[in-house]
Amino acid sequence: MGHPYPASPFASPAAPPSAVAVATILLVLAIDIALIRYCLSDLDRRAIVVGGNKTFWAAAIVLGGPLGQMAYMLYGRGEF
């Protein structure tokens, strides 16, 4: 005897991601890592940053994602 409920469309196994999707994700990750490295090296070279706390800016760069990196580049460096 069959199951009393029809099969859910969400119950099927997921298809593997396409090559384009994998390449896009890897490209975004590579850009993010390069931006983190640039921001951290810039932070290390500067004697003074806005707020005077390099630890805060390092955490914002690494943990804040692209928004933290943009905040550092636009505001944390103190250049306008």
Rounded to whole angstroms, the Cα distance separating 77 from 48 reads 8
pLDDT digits 0-9 by tens, 5-48: 666 666 666 788 899 999 999 999 999 999 999 999 999 999 99
Domain boundaries defined on the chain: 34-80
Global pTM reads 0.74
In angstroms, how far is the first alpha carbon of the chain from the final one?
73
Q: Which residue pairs, CB below 8 angstroms and at least 24 apart, start in 32-36? A: 32/65, 32/66, 32/69, 35/66, 35/69, 36/61, 36/62, 36/69
Mean pLDDT calculated for residue range 62-67? 94
- C-alpha 39/C-alpha 58 separation (Å) is 8
Q: Which residues contact 35 (CB under 8 A, 6 or more apart)?
A: 66, 69
